[in-house]
Amino acid sequence: MDLEDPRRRRRHTNQRGYGVTRDPHLNKDLAFTLEERQQLNIHGLLPPCIISQDIQVLRIIKNMELLNSDFDRYLLLMDLQDRNEKLFYRVLMSDIEKFMPIVYTPTVGLACQQYSLAFRKPRGLFISIHDRGHISSILNAWPENSIKAIVVTDGERILGLGDLGCNGMGIPVGKLALYTACGGMNPQECLPVMLDVGTENEELLKDPLYIGLRRKRVRDRQYDDFLDEFMEAVSSKYGMNCLIQFEDFANVNAFRLLRRYQYQYCTFNDDIQGTASVAVAGLLAALRITKNKLSDQTILFQGAGEAALGIAHLIVMAMEKEGLPKKKAIEKIWLVDSKGLIVKRRASLTPEKEEFAHEHQEMKNLEAIVQKLKPTALIGVAAIHGAFSEQIIKDMAAFNERPIIFALSNPTSKAECSAEQCYTLSEGRAIFASGSPFDPVTLPNGQTLYPGQGNNSYVFPGVALGVVACGLRHIPDSIFLMTAEVIAHQVSDKHLEEGRLYPPLYTIRDVSLKIAKKIVEEAYKEKTATVYPEPSNKEAFIRSQMYNTDYDQILPDCYSWPEEDQKMQTKVV
């Protein structure tokens, strides 16, 4: 049967009447046909006008234009998601460049800060430390039994905003919206989860509107046992190939949990591995401008947390692939944290930082460090607004014909510098990327540059799509280097001339498909896939699983198929 045959999109329900219009999976608002309205007993509950989904999209966009802030637009879209799921995703996909900053960074940061105030309806599971011993029963409360992807957070390090506790639920909700809009994952097979173990945020603990536990964070053995039970419960209920993405855990937990679970479950940490992949993709694209190799670079990080160390490790892997020994690759990378340059014998270095500590005098001032090391690439991931000063940008331009400057911190208020500052101070020679979106910059010579947004949404939707499609049970680091290479390959020479280091966001669904195809091909080649028989046409196989935003034809269970349709339906089953 043709995958696009409209009869494939028929859907039966045992619901009737008012409940149909309140079920976001079934609701089509005014797009219900007269036949559907009569069969489902909703005739009279809706105005008589029947309008298409495209007109519905136009109505939503018109309503958004009447609002005064992106936060209000965020709330409108979240209400739409609660009411009409297919229309929500059709709206997002109608202009992903326009709507991504609203459903995710930077607006989602404000949404998390206001989450308790704006809370209307749960969009996921809230599992608290008090649920220890009963997490399996909590999972049973979720109405969907087939879950293939989970995004989980404990809310301790939300973007660059710190510990937001239970308010951090906005991140898993936003991430999974992009799983569908950018990667084609079925939203009914995705589950956002908040693990509430308390918060150190005194302001939240005193806020009468706060929706989370009013207690300090649980630590140590009790915390680890809680996480272990969660991972075991998820794998027991949904299978060992259920993808579990860790999001916005604090440094103290993120690295060790990744090491603990990476080869035990199907899991990855987006802050460590996803950020690494998108940053390396930008670097690989930048090398097509500088006309040299990654192993020729000297790379300085402002920041030494999850993002910096994740990027550093993936850079090392990429340099090794170019033929540089690991020890030599590590020597090319320098990190600066809140105490200054990370050097050998400096006090209080974690094992992760120690790996990148070099023989050098201690230095604390970033401007002085840049002048001393003369890096070819400067990457900001410490969420310190304005960290890349005018002097630093000018020095980078003095040392390098084409300096690579990435201001990757989110949200925009935490960016190390703006695109305009970077381009203007470097006289248009800087190769720039940011974590949050910046407007195009027109230089005095008339040239317009379009700053690349190194958003993790280029990575995690495609990775999830590929991992789920072939049933991988573990996600090795090599997948993220492979993903970076695929993304960089999608950047055309014309894009590079315009200053873009990433493909346009409107192509992101196609980029995700290419990432997924590469992962699936490699999984069957390496015998790590668990979905058999192996599909002969990998791309068609993946496409057949991607979510379709077109409305289904909704019919009651008792509906009798016409004779020809019965034959076709039998073939489909």
Which residues are catalytically annotated? 104, 175
- Please say whether the beta carbons of 111 and 158 come within 8 A: no
Q: How far apart are CA 200 and CA 220, in angstroms?
A: 15
Neighbours of 537 (CB within 10 A): 9
**Strand ranges, E, within 159-294:** 190-196, 243-246, 267-269
Tokens of 556: 């009651």
Q: How far apart are CA 164 and CA 417, in angstroms?
A: 25
Q: What is the CA radius of gyration of the chain?
A: 25
Tokens of 296: 């020729």
Q: How far apart are CA 363 and CA 350, in angstroms?
A: 18
What type of residue is 377?
Answer: A
Among the residues of 141-250, which ranges form H helices?
170-183, 202-205, 220-238
Among 233, 226, 229, which residue's Cα sits nearest to residue 253?
A: 226
**Helix (H), strand (E), coil (C) string for 339-384:** CEECECCCCCCCHHHHCCCECCCCCCCHHHHHHHHCCCEEEECCCC
At residue 394, the 3 state secondary structure works out as: helix
Give the contacts of 24 (CB within 8 A, at least 6 positions apart).
81, 82, 83, 84, 85, 88
Among the residues of 359-459, which ranges form H helices?
366-373, 390-399, 419-425
Tokens of 277: 């992949």
Neighbours of 361 (CB within 10 A): 7
What type of residue is 9?
Answer: R
Residue 230 to residues 170, 222, 235, 534, 566: CA-CA distances in angstroms? 20, 13, 9, 32, 44
Among 405, 338, 416, which residue's Cα sits nearest to residue 383?
A: 416
What type of residue is 126?
Answer: F
At residue 10, the 3 state secondary structure works out as: strand
Tokens of 288: 């097509």
At residue 549, the 3 state secondary structure works out as: coil
- Please say whether the beta carbons of 386 and 407 come within 8 A: no
